[in-house]
């Protein structure tokens, strides 16, 4: 940010009273000093942690502030979302907030270019201040949520970190290869209370995939569902396909589709029924015997389609 752009900030209009104008001038002076210290002439943007960036950080939620930016009579600022949460009291000095806008700080915000908040995770982008709010929720470098569905796990991180976390903390089974053959057994198939049964992680094509299998109530009927999620972004997930198959007694059901990214929550995928869905009566039929115990064998494979020189798509299995 060019320092001259801060020095030329327009002050509030004549409709403001003398106290408000004085407060704006005081705030403008503080911003100017901070910007000179944080962003010399010729700098491409303002790095997180700089004085200007800190001034634009809401002291309540610590998120970046966007107009309208509010301030108390002592010049303490906060975002409009938090203003409604603090019952019109400044969280810093406890003075009444009123309806004072920090126009000087809003002008500074308009002139800034800032790196994405995920710059430390590899995002190289620099944006005008107001564009950050649109980019960051979709940034491909933002951390992933833990895909484990057996508990409300709040852990986030990149894929290598989450793979270690699943193995070490959740004790998830890890397998290499693009084919699988799993048997799921439950002694009392009538006990269905949104119970997640199993998560297995597969490593193939240099990527990680999560195979979920669980029971839940769909309306009045218990159902069983298996589906695959890709540990990466949606654009990468589209490069892969998978199939799931369950059967016995001369019958079988087959599901084929594209794995969903773990950007989509486990519940979102499950509730969209995007996977192999088995009604209880059919599951018991596949289990054989006296139909009092659930014994399902699910097989499947993951593949990647590769285009040949003549334009045909050929499925490629991992070696």
Last residue of a domain, one of 114, 138, 162: 138
Q: How far apart are the first and last CA of the chain?
A: 52
What confidence category does residue 120 fall into, taking pLDDT thresholds of 50, 70 and 90? confident
Which pLDDT score is estimated for 275? 95
- Cα 202 from Cα 230, distance rounded (Å): 10
Q: At what angle do helices 18-38 and 103-111 cross, to 10 degrees?
A: 30
Higher pLDDT residue, 144 or 36? Answer: 144
Q: Which of 165-169, 215-219, 286-290 has the lowest mean pLDDT?
A: 286-290
What confidence category does residue 191 fall into, taking pLDDT thresholds of 50, 70 and 90? low
**From the centroid of its chain, how far is CA 93?**
35
Over residues 8-37, the mean pLDDT reads 40
Which pLDDT score is estimated for 50? 58
Residue 90 is encoded by which pair of tokens?
């400044």
Residue 3 has pLDDT above 90, yes or no: no
Task: Answer whether residue 5 is part of any domain.
Answer: no
Number of domain units in the chain: 2
Task: Answer whether residue 250 is part of any domain.
Answer: yes
Residues forming a β-bridge with 144: 157
What confidence category does residue 190 fall into, taking pLDDT thresholds of 50, 70 and 90? low
Tens digit of pLDDT for each residue in 279-306? 888 888 888 766 677 788 899 999 997 7
Which pLDDT score is estimated for 20? 42
Residues 84 and 161 in one domain: no
What confidence category does residue 263 fall into, taking pLDDT thresholds of 50, 70 and 90? very high
CA distances from 233 to 125, 149, 208, 243, 270 (A): 18, 19, 12, 20, 18
**Phi, psi (degrees; rounded to nearest 5) at 260:** -85, 145
- Cα 230 from Cα 205, distance rounded (Å): 12
CB 295 within 8 A of CB 185: yes
Q: Which of 16-20, 133-137, 141-145, 222-226 has the lowest mean pLDDT?
A: 16-20
Residues spanned by the domain of 221: 146-316
CB 199 within 8 A of CB 172: yes
Which pLDDT score is estimated for 29? 44
- Cα 38 from Cα 47, distance rounded (Å): 8
pLDDT, averaged across the chain: 79
Task: Answer whether residue 160 is part of any domain.
Answer: yes
- Reduced 3-state DSSP string for the chain: CCHHHHHCCCCCCCCCCHHHHHHHHHHHHHHHHHHHHHCCCCCCCCCCCCHHHHHCECCCCCCECCCCEEECCCCCEEEHHHHCCCCCECCCCCCECCCCECHHHHHHHHHCEEECCCHHHCCCCEEEHHHHHHHHHHCCCCCEECCCCCCCCCCEECHHHHHHHHHHCCCCEEEECCEEEEEEEECCCCCCCCCEEEEEEEEECCEEEEEEEEEEEECCEEEEEEEEEECCCHHHHCCEEEEEEEEECCEEEEEEECCEECCCCHHHHHHCCCCEEEEHHHHHHHHCCCCCCEEEEEEEEEEEEEECCCCCEEEECCC
Last residue of a domain, one of 95, 111, 138: 138
Which pLDDT score is estimated for 54? 79
Residues 268 and 242 in one domain: yes
Residues 286 and 167 in one domain: yes
Residue 286 is encoded by which pair of tokens?
């596949």
Residues 168 and 292 in one domain: yes
Higher pLDDT residue, 219 or 168? Answer: 168
Residue 59 has pLDDT above 80, yes or no: yes
Over residues 196-216, the mean pLDDT reads 88
- Cα 28 from Cα 62, distance rounded (Å): 21
Residues 107 and 182 in one domain: no
Task: Answer whether residue 17 is part of any domain.
Answer: no
Residues 181 and 242 in one domain: yes
Q: Please state, as a whole number, how many other Cβ atoms lie within 10 Å of the Cβ of residue 310.
A: 5
Which pLDDT score is estimated for 239? 93
Q: Which of 26-40, 50-64, 104-118, 259-273 has the lowest mean pLDDT?
A: 26-40
Most confident of 61-75, 117-131, 159-173, 217-231: 159-173
Q: Which of 66-80, 189-203, 302-316 has the lowest mean pLDDT?
A: 189-203
Over residues 217-225, the mean pLDDT reads 83
Q: Please state, as a whole number, how many other Cβ atoms lie within 10 Å of the Cβ of residue 61.
A: 13
Task: Answer whether residue 36 is part of any domain.
Answer: no
The model's pTM is: 0.69
Q: Which of 9-18, 185-194, 248-257, 279-288 has the lowest mean pLDDT?
A: 9-18
Residues 254 and 165 in one domain: yes
Higher pLDDT residue, 44 or 124? Answer: 124
């Amino acid at each position: 940010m060019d320092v001259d752009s801060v020095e030329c900030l327009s002050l509030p209009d004549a409709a403001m009273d003398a106290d408000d104008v004085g407060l704006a001038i005081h705030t403008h002076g503080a911003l100017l000093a901070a910007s000179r210290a944080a962003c010399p002439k010729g700098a491409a943007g303002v790095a997180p942690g700089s004085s200007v960036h800190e001034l634009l950080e809401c002291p309540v939620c610590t998120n970046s502030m966007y107009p309208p930016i509010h301030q108390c009579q002592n010049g303490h600022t906060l975002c409009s979302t938090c203003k409604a949460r603090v019952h019109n009291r400044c969280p810093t000095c406890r003075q009444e907030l009123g309806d004072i806008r920090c126009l000087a700080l809003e002008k500074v915000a308009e002139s800034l270019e800032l790196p994405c908040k995920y710059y430390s995770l590899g995002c190289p982008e620099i944006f005008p201040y107001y564009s950050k709010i649109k980019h960051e929720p979709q940034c491909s470098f933002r951390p992933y949520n833990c895909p484990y569905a057996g508990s409300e796990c709040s852990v986030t991180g990149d894929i290598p970190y989450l793979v270690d976390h699943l193995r070490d903390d959740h004790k998830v089974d890890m397998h290499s290869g693009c084919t699988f053959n799993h048997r799921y057994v439950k002694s009392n198939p009538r006990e269905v209370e949104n119970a997640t049964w199993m998560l297995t992680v597969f490593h193939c094509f240099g990527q990680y995939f999560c195979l979920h299998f669980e029971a839940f109530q769909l309306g009045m009927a218990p159902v069983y569902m298996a589906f695959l999620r890709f540990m990466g972004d949606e654009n990468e997930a589209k490069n892969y396909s998978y199939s799931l198959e369950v059967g016995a007694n001369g019958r079988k059901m087959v599901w084929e589709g594209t794995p969903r990214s773990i950007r989509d929550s486990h519940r979102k995928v499950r509730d969209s029924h995007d996977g192999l869905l088995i009604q209880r009566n059919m599951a018991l039929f596949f289990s054989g015997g006296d139909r009092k115990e659930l014994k399902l064998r699910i097989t499947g494979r993951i593949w990647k389609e590769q285009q040949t020189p003549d334009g045909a798509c050929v499925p490629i299995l991992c070696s």
